[in-house]
Structures are given as structure tokens and as C-alpha cells.
Structure 1
Amino acid sequence: MTLVDRSAVQDYYLPAIEEITETTIANKISSEIDREDVVKQIIRNTVQYGVLSHRWLPRGEPLFHDLINGIPDIPGRSKLENYCRLTRQKGLTFAWSDTCCINKSSSAELDEALRSMFRWYRNATLCLIYLSQTNDLSDVESDEWFTRGWTLQELLAPPVAKFYNKDWEPLGEQENDKEDEQIVKHLVNATKCPKHALRNFLPGPHDVDRRMSWAANRRTTKVEDMAYSLMGIFGVVLQPAYGEGAEQSFCRLVQMIMQSRGSTSVLNWVGKAAVSFNSFALPSSPRCYVGNGGFNTERRIDME
């Protein structure tokens, strides 16, 4: 297990990328897929890596500096080792984890990571999802992983996902658990996301009220992350500003969705209005969308 930088990854894949010819691309273009999508597909099949989705431990996760200086014997070490082992077994050379692959002492690198997270999970060959409180499918829906803010996009973004229980045993038998009807049934129950979104999620500023409702009962350690974790889902970009507070960051998200010509369903909310803005038209948090899946004819605004 070795930490490598981007240049090492680029050097590793460059020979394979240079072998891609115009003929290779032309042979795959058809009436159903254009050149741009063909190129994306070829690159995706060439540049392969795994990503990890998990619930952070209260303490003891290996961080960036730990991999630089040598990982100490801390609780999160075995999790990282098991993740890398399974990724390797799947035939992947590179694995990415949010605990140790982001230098959080660099504000520029952290900002880039927050804005790029959805895309990194989207482009991954495989997302390994570790449910640390789950024994088997009978108790999967009660796992705390389903209550965290960032794990929503980590579930929706990757096309291929594999779930593991607390002992790193697979919960499904298929290569892609998003194709396993039994697992998907539990995912729908736990997240309220429909099957088509779980299997083929398209980011963008549409179905806003419904998508906000998926995040309404989730939480994050840093309050601003509740908004930042939704950027990729709605296809918008925010400049992270920790310290601005939960309401301010969420209102900026809503404003960006509206500026992106998002669905008018962004205004289909109930509950407490944001007090940090002159208008009472903006909701204060995702909880204002609890239960929304369509137009609410009994909408009211709580200005207190």
C-alpha cells in the first residue's frame, strides 16, 4: 500500500491512452452514441480505479500525513488495508479514499476535492461501500451509513457499487449490487430514492424537491457540508467557505440551483424560512423538503 500522486497515475496510464487511435474511436461511433461519448467510454475503460464509501470513525482514521510518514497502529488502519486488498482482488491497481488521499492542510486541495467529489465517484470503476454496523441484509437499513450527508452522492454517483458488511463479507453475489433486486429493495427503503435513480442517476437542477427530500434527514459533522455534499447531485459548483454556517451555505446552494435554470420545484418547501436573507422565499435547510415528492398544495412558510 503506497500513496502516489497524480503524476504517477498519469504516467501509468499514458502508454495505454496513447494507443487509442482515431480508427478505434470511429469504429465505435453509431447512431446511438456520438464521438464525445465514445471517447469518454474508452477513457473510462482504460483509466480504472476504485473508491471507498464508508462512515468515518470518531477517531483513528489514517490521514494524508500518516501515509507519508507511515501508518500507525490505529483503528482505521485495518479498514484501509481491507479496502485496498479487495480493490486489488477486483483487478484494480489504484484505490482512492477520502480519509488519506486529500491533503486537508491545503485549503486549495480541499476546495478542489469538495467540488470534484461527485465526478471522482462517477468516473470510478467500482465503489466499495463498507457498512460497519451491518451483519447481513436483515439489518442493513439501520446502518448509520444511510444517515450521513456525503454518502448520498457516494451511492448515487458510481455506476457500479459493491456492499460489504462489518466483517468485509459481500452482501450480494453480483458484481454490481445495483443490479441485485434484493439489495436495491433495501436501498430504496433506506434512502427513499427510486430504483432508476439508484441505478442510473443523472445529476442536474431538476426534481429538486424530491432530491432534497432524500437528504432531509441526513447530517454532516461540519454543518456547511450539508450543502456542499449536494453540489454534484444538482450539477452546480459552490466555493466552500467553512464558518459561514449551515443556513448561509444552503441558501447559496438553492440560489445556484435557481441561477442554473433549475426546476421550480426548488420552491416547493415548507417550514422555516432562511433569516439571513431579505426574502422569505428561501428555505433554511434540506429538512424543509421532508416528504416532498411532488407539488405540495398546502405549502406554508414559517417566518418565526
Structure 2
Amino acid sequence: MRLLRTDKLKLVEFQGQDIPPYAILSHTWGEEEVTFEDVLLGHAKSRKGYQKVAGACSQAIRDGFEYIWIDTCCIDKSSSAELSEAINSMFRWYGDAEVCYAFLSDVEDDEDPWTWSSTFRTSRWFTRGWTLQELIAPGVVYFYSAGWKEIGSRDTLLNLIVSITKISPDYFETGDLSQFSAAQKMSWAANRETTRPEDNAYCLLGLFDINLPLLYGEGGRAFQRLQEEILLQTEDDSLFAHNHQDCCSPAGRRNQLRR
């Protein structure tokens, strides 16, 4: 696992049991994100996404963390093997983090998130496929607005988050995914979108404790492979009660079971 030093913007690799305590960032991608190559070449500060990285590092430093994991720059995406390992490990990485910072770039500073007209309620962060696991996997989640103002924690905002996401509040009490059927977990992904159709499936791997090889270019076949793997590991045929045509992205709303 590769982590970013919060004080020096330097990438450090760790193996096995040597991974130190770390914070982790959840966000939606924007223009000119800071990449792995940008950090290696010292170009990070020239990217528009640098302020987001700097804000996350500053918050981690205030919280006493020497390291943080950020998906845009901690994964060498030029390596298909590393990208596959990272996506298959991501749910665990979010779960192992000491704290997750959910940065909502479209939420205004100092607003009341509970008001019906709040930008928190309509944030893009709640519509993306990947942020589902980033909401439920960590033990601790804090939300931040565009100016890195703390909005609240997942615990203090729980009723509002449940209202927005339709995730069962029972999950947040137990943290036990095994108590929920495949159909229930699929329903949590309803109306969430991913940029690539394959990610409709890949972003759900952790929810079902499934590992899959990544085959970008296969389109909807990725979700069919996910379903097949779930059925190999469980007798929970509720999977078909919640058709994926209602889940994730416009492309994903087509019937993925059609062969």
C-alpha cells in the first residue's frame, strides 16, 4: 500500500503489517486531479486539484496523522496489476483507515445541512458509485465543505444521511454487511452513477466481499460476472429481486442479465 506523507507530499510504500495509522480521503473527481506522476515529478502544485490534496493533508496533520491515502495520487494507474489490486482492496483500505474525510466540493461553507434547500442534501458525492463504499466501510467519517469547513460526522448527521441515501440505519449501528440481503445492498446503489460502465460492478466488490479481475472494455458484462460470483459464494437469490437496471448509471440501467 502506498501512502502520502502529509507534511512533505511524498509517497511511501508499505508492506503487510508495517502500514502505519493513516487518514483517507473520499471525494468526487474534478478537473486536473493530482496524479501519481504529478507527485513523483513535483508537478502537484500546478494542478487544480492540488488545493483539495493540500486541504486533506492539513486536516490530517491537525488530527495527528503522518500519512493519508488519496486515490488520485496513491495509485500508479499506468500499472494494470496495481490498479486491479487497489480496486479489489479499496473497501478494506477504507475500513482500516483511522478516519475518512469526505470532501464535498459542491457544499457551501457554514450552511445548515438539515435545511431542505441545503447543498449538502443535493451534493454530487451522494450520487456516485464509488462513494457508497467510502461512506459505509470506514469506522469514522467526517464531512467537509468546499472550504474545508467541518459539516459534521457520519454519526451526528446519521438521520439525514439515511434520508438521503436510503441505507438502512441498522447497518450503521452494527457495521455487519452479512445481515443484509444482496437485494438490500444492491438497492443502496440505486441511482448512483459511475463514469465507466464496468465500474458499476467494480465499485460494489467490497460490499459483497468479492474479488474480480478488472477487464475495462467489457461494459455490462462486468456486472454479470459480479452476479455470477455472488451466486457462487451464497445461496441468496434475492440478488435477482433488485434488477441492476435500477442501479448505478444510465448504462447500468439496461438489463445486465440479458445474454
Q: TM-score range by the shorter chain?
A: 0.7 to 0.9
Distance 1:60 1:3 in 2: 19
Deviation at 1:151, TM superposition (A): 0.1
Kindly state the Cα deviation for residue 216 of structure 1 after the two structures are TM-superposed: 1.7
1:249 partnered with 2:230: no
> What is the identity percentage for the equivalent residue pairs of Structure 1 and Structure 2?
36
Structure 1: gaps of 5 or more residues: 15-45, 271-282, 289-301
Work out which of the residue numbers 150, 154, 159 in structure 2 matches 1:178. 154
Q: Distance in 1 between matches of 2:214 and 2:179?
A: 19
The equivalent position to 1:150 in structure 2, one of 130, 153, 159, is 130
Amino acid at match of 1:4: L
- Residue among 100, 117, 120 paired with 1:127: 100
In the other structure, the counterpart of 2:4 is none
Secondary structure in structure 2 of the residue aligned to 1:198: helix
| Structure 1 equivalent of residue 187 of structure 2 | 213
Q: CA deviation at 1:154?
A: 0.3
- Is this contact kept in 1: 2:25–2:56, CA < 8 A? yes
| 1:53 CA drift (Å) | 0.2
- Whether contact under 8 Å (1:203, 1:235) holds in the other structure is no
Q: Which moved more, 1:99-108 or 1:255-264?
A: 255-264
Greater relative CO (CA pairs within 8 A, separation 6+): 2
Q: 1:229 aligns with which of 203, 210, 226?
A: 203
Judged with a 3 Å threshold, the aligned counterparts in structure 2 of structure 1 residues 77 and 52 are, in CA distance, closer, same or farther, namely: same
Superposition pairs for residues 68-87 of structure 1, below 5 Å?
Answer: 68-70=40-42, 71-87=44-60
Cα drift, residue 285 of structure 1: 6.5
Q: Which residue of 2 aligns with 1:4?
A: 11
**How far apart in 1 are the matches of 2:122 and 2:9?**
34
Does the CA-based 8 Å contact 2:25-2:102 persist in structure 1? Answer: yes
CA 88–4 in structure 1, closer or farther in 2 if over 3 Å, else same: same
Whether 1:102 and 2:75 are equivalent positions in the alignment is yes
Aligned partner letter, 1:164: Y
Partner of 2:33: 61
Indicate the residue corresponding to 1:27 in structure 2: none
Aligned length: 237
Q: Deviations over 1:219-260 (max 9, x none)?
A: 111110110000000111111100000x21111111111111
> Is 1:192 aligned to residue 176 of structure 2?
no
Residue number in structure 1 paired with 2:3: none
Give the gaps of 5 or more residues in structure 2: 1-7, 250-256
TM-score by length of 1: 0.73
SS of the counterpart of 2:24?
A: strand
